[in-house]
Structure 1
């Protein structure tokens, strides 16, 4: 099967590419480095060319922003451009990676992901959406969200982190299964506090950060602290623990 991967060099995208190739699939990488800027109108013509003969597109693109306008503009533009080109090229399956629990969080980035899901579900291409919890790598990323000298302010939240490699494998499973709508939530094996994970990353990597947990205000913050970003029902679970990932497993 020929599979196109948007965001093919990203945290999860590179694992989708590796897993797909290991299973014998032909992979088309959709990245800026490969000449495809999915955020611009000019992407349309290039995309239609690249999607010739493609059976499925996996969208793992991402943006680092907490602003609602920027998040909605990014995920909206990328999704609209992909779906339009897929329809023209005759692609039969669009697979999007999303986040467990976003229905309960009103913050800016999550608004962008919710828009992405709506566009996919209402779009012209048969679809699947896989929601996953935060990746193990997220604990390192949050150390840089808000920094004051040697102090990192980390949002208080209950998480069930999963290895990005396992998310990549799961996305290829979804591709191979065919269009299935909203797939069961994917999470890691342990429920853990993000502040603790950030501290462990700082210590393990010798970063010397002082990690201070900060409650996100309002209903979204309460939901995050209460575990809204962890699965509420059964579903697939990764096997790689945070400690194993941190040790390089």
Structure 2
């Protein structure tokens, strides 16, 4: 049994990692700004309130307490707004320093396939997170994954709430784009394997002197329109699927197929099976 700290352990990816690590019998510490709701707590885990963007003294004290005696740290933190994205830069630096002070055996960070090839602001911040953690003096494994099954719901809607376009009677999807969606549970499996020291095969030297980058993708490559049609059928909807342009660096990244790694199929749960599991 190992002691594994999961940073961002109350977010979607972090929760999946916590569940996977706990199911394997590890001692799991959940690090996040807010405690999980009672119904979201995983039995046998402990919570540590840590805000990576808090005041210097508070962050140092909180991280030192949370990481003391840990064998591995999995960073599944996230931030979408410009302010929150500092968790990938400022926060990553603080986490790297704390892991080194604690003598943690390894750091594992969740990232995105080919993130260093995109000019999208969020991707630039994630690439910097990889670099900062990999240069922190602790052996690091970067696990780059394709988009989660949930990604298209940014356009279509989620949790019973329709997206803006869907409320107008349409189901919009990025035009000319394919995805290789992967289940959160499959990503969590790869992250916990890496935390145990046995990451998926195919790793290459990472952005730091003592880092490895592993790339994983979903089991199939699908056109966004086909995914939207499957989503529509699973939800009993009749709205027409409409391709819309996705402008800017992110649209360019997707249309160029840089989000795909067909030679790195790792996930086992297909998109349609995932939809069926949530019906």
**Is 1:95 matched up with 2:112?**
no
Is the CA contact 2:218–2:270 (under 8 Å) kept in the aligned structure 1? yes
Q: Which entry has the higher C-alpha Rg, 1 or 2?
A: 2
1:235 is matched with: 264
3-state DSSP class of the match of 2:264? coil
Given candidates 51, 69, 94, the residue that maps to 2:67 is 51
Deviation at 1:154, TM superposition (A): 3.8
Q: 1:143 to 1:38 in 2, by over 3 A?
A: farther
Whole-angstrom CA distance in 2 between matches of 1:244 and 1:44: 43
User: Is the contact made by 1:58 and 1:96 (CA closer than 8 Å) also made in structure 2?
Assistant: yes
C-alpha change, 1:39 and 1:196, in structure 2 (3 Å) is: farther
Aligned length: 245
Task: Quote the offset at 1:235 in angstroms.
Answer: 3.0
TM-score, scaled relative to structure 2: 0.78
Change (3 A) 1:206 1:94: same
Q: Which whole-Å deviations, capped at 9, do the CAs of 1:16-52 have from their partners, x for residues lacking one?
A: 1111112111000001224221222322211101111
Q: 1:63 aligns with which of 74, 79, 91?
A: 79
2:176 equivalent to 1:147: no
> Aligned residue for 1:167?
187
**SS of the residue aligned with 2:142?**
strand
Q: CA offsets, 1:103-146, max 9 Å, x none?
A: 22211111111111111222222111000000101121333597
SS of the counterpart of 2:214?
Answer: coil
Separation in structure 2 between the aligned mates of residue 77 and residue 55 of structure 1, nearest angstrom: 23
User: Matches of 2:32 and 2:113 in 1, distance apart?
Assistant: 25
Distance 1:194 1:37 in 2: 36
Higher relative contact order (CA 8 A, sep 6+): 1
1:74 paired with 2:87, answer: yes
Structure 1: gaps of 5 or more residues: none
Distance 1:178 1:126, change over 3 A: farther
Cα distance in 2 between the residues matched to 1:82 and 1:160: 31
Which of 54, 62, 80 is equivalent to 1:40? 54
Cα distance in 1 for partners of 2:265, 2:173 equals 28
Partner SS for 1:147: coil
**Deviation sequence 1:145-204 (CA, Å, 0-9, x none):** 972552565434321010100100110111112697333311111111234424533453
- SS of alignment partner, residue 54 of structure 2: coil
The answer for unaligned runs of 5 or more in structure 2 is 36-48, 200-209
Q: Which residue of 1 aligns with 2:223?
A: 193
Q: 1:177 corresponds to which residue?
A: 197
Q: What do you get for the CA RMSD once the two structures are aligned? A: 2.5
* Cα distance, 1:213–1:86 mapped onto 2, change above 3 Å: same
Q: 4+ residue runs of structure 1 moved beyond 4 angstroms?
A: 206-211
